[in-house]
Amino acid sequence: MSGDNFSEAVLNAATDIVAILKEFGLSDQDILDAIMEYDGDADSSVEAVAGEFNISAPSERATSANKTMVLQDVLNHSELGVVTDSRYGHKVNLEHQADDAVNRFGYGFNFQSVGADEWVRLKSTHPRAFRLVVTGESGETVTTATFRYPPVDDEAQKSYQQQGALGAALNDTVLSDIGLHMCYLDEGSEHWKWFIIPKATLSKLVETYGESLAVFGEPLVRRCPRYTYSWNQIDIDEATDHEDEFGVPEPPTTYKLEEAYDLSEPASQQLW
């Protein structure tokens, strides 16, 4: 892949994108590794990113929107990226993704059940409480929190609401404890896209580019890192009693979104 195959505008845009990716903490090799589609002949991360304009953007026009789209795509496929299937199940398609992302920072991640009958499918309004566990390099537990989903009475909204609730819980508990944060990139027709970044790095980026991380004038983090969730489908009165339902006491310190945030005015709630 030669730089001669790209217009000057695209190469300039790729240079800008690489510079931003480095602000996020990615090296040239990290960027090359993240771009799986390029043909292997790129001499530099800039050429590799330039090739992404043929894949990720509607055209090779180096517009702000296209630059943002390519930046988002590379972040999504990098070691910082976390992608979850829209047919969401935290144990199935979030555990390994989150584990891979925190590995970069010297940690591991897993979910653990509270009580017996781990990960059974339940017909109640929310599954049993479960633990969010961050481990160290030797596998020892560094920090943990117990979480349960808020009750959602609309099946069409369930996956959407559950992912948002768990994202808030992760950021408010175990990720915060180790100085990391999971930012929401976008949800498409089939996937939700996040990335995990040190909170100190995120603070510097927000200070420079604003809360939407509009590095090229378009929000990189869709609807801003402080993403407005709509909680109108949550009926707090419908929450089941954990011990009555599952025969296992719910830990008193369980993180509950409806207690962590005032959900009386859903449209105004700002959650990362």
Task: Look up residue 17 and give its two tokens.
Answer: 């994108």
Has residue 174 been placed in a domain?
yes
94 is in which domain, residue-wise? 82-216
Cβ(181)–Cβ(196) under 8 Å?
A: yes
Has residue 146 been placed in a domain?
yes
Asked if 181 and 57 sit in the same domain, the reply is no
One pLDDT digit (tens) per residue for the chain, 272 residues: 555 578 888 889 999 999 999 999 999 999 998 886 555 567 899 999 988 876 666 555 678 888 998 898 899 889 999 888 766 677 777 899 999 999 999 999 999 887 655 554 545 555 678 899 999 999 999 999 999 887 766 666 667 777 778 888 999 999 999 999 998 886 555 677 889 999 999 999 999 998 889 999 888 886 543 444 455 556 666 667 777 777 777 788 888 877 777 665 544 344 44
Domains held by the chain: number = 2
Asked if 86 and 159 sit in the same domain, the reply is yes
Task: Look up residue 64 and give its two tokens.
Answer: 């702000």
Asked if 42 and 87 sit in the same domain, the reply is no
Asked if 38 and 131 sit in the same domain, the reply is no
Asked if 204 and 141 sit in the same domain, the reply is yes
Has residue 202 been placed in a domain?
yes
Asked if 55 and 103 sit in the same domain, the reply is no
Has residue 62 been placed in a domain?
yes
Q: Which long-range contacts (CB under 8 A, 24 or more apart) does 229-233 make?
A: 229/161, 229/164, 229/165, 229/168, 229/266, 229/269, 229/271, 230/266, 230/267, 231/150, 231/161, 231/257, 231/263, 231/266, 231/269, 232/266, 233/152, 233/153, 233/154, 233/157, 233/161
Cβ(160)–Cβ(84) under 8 Å?
A: no
Has residue 192 been placed in a domain?
yes
Cβ(134)–Cβ(174) under 8 Å?
A: yes
Asked if 91 and 198 sit in the same domain, the reply is yes
Asked if 140 and 204 sit in the same domain, the reply is yes
Final residue of a domain: which of 78, 105, 135? 78
Asked if 139 and 204 sit in the same domain, the reply is yes
Q: What is the pTM of this model?
A: 0.85
Strands 81-85 and 108-113, bridge-based pairing = unpaired
Asked if 27 and 72 sit in the same domain, the reply is yes
Has residue 127 been placed in a domain?
yes
Alpha carbon distances (Å) from 245 to 45, 106, 124, 129: 54, 38, 8, 11
Asked if 60 and 97 sit in the same domain, the reply is no
Asked if 61 and 170 sit in the same domain, the reply is no
Has residue 246 been placed in a domain?
no
